[in-house]
Structure 1
């Protein structure tokens, strides 16, 4: 298997553009990753990468070999998937991604049960609120809030998640509750914004009497971590827009209170994303079919 290990490492180095990043992805040391590339180059008698202290770029031979290497690995994956399907014993490594709030509250608690039922499947859960490239980052299935921009991905809808505008009692006591959505854009109130490179939503869509309107809210605080916004809201720093399931406990306790309830945020779609090829893998199909009803059931428990 060492030759195939070398090929897999090469593909990840090529896709990630970094020896250290590929090593982390493969759960090996940078020295092992470098050694595998060197072994592959010795075997092929070509240079696959131009290396400097700061950059690593594929050579012409590296570009050619990458195309063939992907076909080789895809053929192996398909063969293994076919065997797993016949034996009805899905096995192997599954890479799953999710936004921070979704992953921490809904997905991570279910992983131990999934592992108990399917002990031959090892699962790697990556949590991030940033935009992910499923193909480049080797993700088998990704939970997603919103509408994906990549039309080539397959999507399985899980639910429409209710959202709420809310703030801490201390903030409302000091600043008062907003009386209209327009106050959110006029600087009358501080809004806590989720912003990160590639974020699809920089405005808050609210349901108004004459239809949905989008408000470019203002505020001194921003973060690319949704839980940081929750902490800031609890500390009385402003108003935040959150999926109800993320802050259900704080709403129940009164630590956060809904505002502008007559103009609520538009619900946001939660879905699972995957590529067509990934869905051919029995363990990926199994994970999607197993997770979907359980996440739906947990979401129903978190309602206003």
Structure 2
């Protein structure tokens, strides 16, 4: 096992706080991860982690070694990026995350075409509607909707996405359509919300005659999976607030009906995050440019189709 691999494994164990999690992240077995840490400890002649049956915590020596280990990995990545830029053959793996809706409908369909154009680059993709820590998760690019809280990362805006409030015809038949934002937030309507640890309170922003107003909505069902919310709405269990591209098919087939079209929700930013140190890596730039162009094309085509319907 190479010293470089041992350092990579150490950094991921330190960041994830788990030998098994680091092993999954690097696609190796826990036994191999443990062996790499043991080899590194033998080489340094120190104990890097305190291990118990329930916990794994870095020692003082481990805490001291971590910043230098990160600098070693960053230096190697930068050197590889320079070689890639000179040879015009970028290579390596890109670790990407995206919410389920963006990932399934906009990013994932473009990945095979990206791979055809750049065959030496592999894409490792993780989809989740939960908020992910870009640094701790070892991500190169993280797509998102909204405004990120982490200002230490670079932001690349891709598009402003139109959003829609909608419900099934059966829901409207049973509960009626809310007349305004106040009725939407009232006790007579069920709003289906995305909820995950650390999620903000539910306030849906609508464009009214008096400007943008936010309405605190609630309902009997919550989920950390946006597609689950759509499925509930399709079965008549409530109202959803969604980017239009996620539910366009159901709007066209009439399975979902737009509501409050006179006071629509304000658009939401779609963008991606990446760390400052990766901005010179050609494979990262190529991937972001490729996916951003694909997304803009898809959204523009959908908007044109909507205007002709």
Which category of TM-score, normalised to the shorter sequence, fits these structures? over 0.9
Partner deviation per Cα, 1:54-92 (whole Å, 9 max, x = no partner)? 111000110111111111111111111110111111000
Shift of 1:201: 5.6
SS at match of 1:101: helix
2:19 is the alignment partner of 1:19 = yes
2:205 is the alignment partner of 1:205 = yes
Cα separation, 2, equivalents of 1:201 and 1:115 = 39
| TM-score calculated relative to the size of structure 1 | 0.98
| TM-score calculated relative to the size of structure 2 | 0.96
Q: In the alignment, what sits opposite 1:243?
A: 243
2:300 is the alignment partner of 1:300 = yes
Cα separation, 2, equivalents of 1:254 and 1:36 = 56
Cα separation, 2, equivalents of 1:290 and 1:199 = 30
2:30 is the alignment partner of 1:30 = yes
2:176 is the alignment partner of 1:176 = yes
SS at match of 1:103: helix
Cα separation, 2, equivalents of 1:200 and 1:73 = 35
Which consecutive aligned stretches of 4+ in structure 1 deviate over 4 angstroms post-superposition?
none
Cα separation, 2, equivalents of 1:18 and 1:61 = 18
Q: In the alignment, what sits opposite 1:194?
A: 194
User: Does the CA contact (< 8 Å) of 2:202 and 2:218 recur in 1?
Assistant: no
Shift of 1:202: 1.9
List runs of 5+ in structure 1 lacking aligned partners.
none
Cα separation, 2, equivalents of 1:193 and 1:285 = 34
Cα separation, 2, equivalents of 1:73 and 1:113 = 29
Query: How does 1:40-55 map onto structure 2 within 5 Å?
Result: 40-55=40-55
User: Does the CA contact (< 8 Å) of 2:191 and 2:239 recur in 1?
Assistant: yes
Shift of 1:280: 1.5
Query: How does 1:273-292 map onto structure 2 within 5 Å?
Result: 273-292=273-292
Partner deviation per Cα, 1:148-201 (whole Å, 9 max, x = no partner)? 111121111111000000000111111111111111222111110111112246
CA RMSD of aligned residues (A): 1.0
For these two proteins, the number of residue pairs brought into alignment is: 304
Query: How does 1:249-264 map onto structure 2 within 5 Å?
Result: 249-264=249-264
List runs of 5+ in structure 2 lacking aligned partners.
none
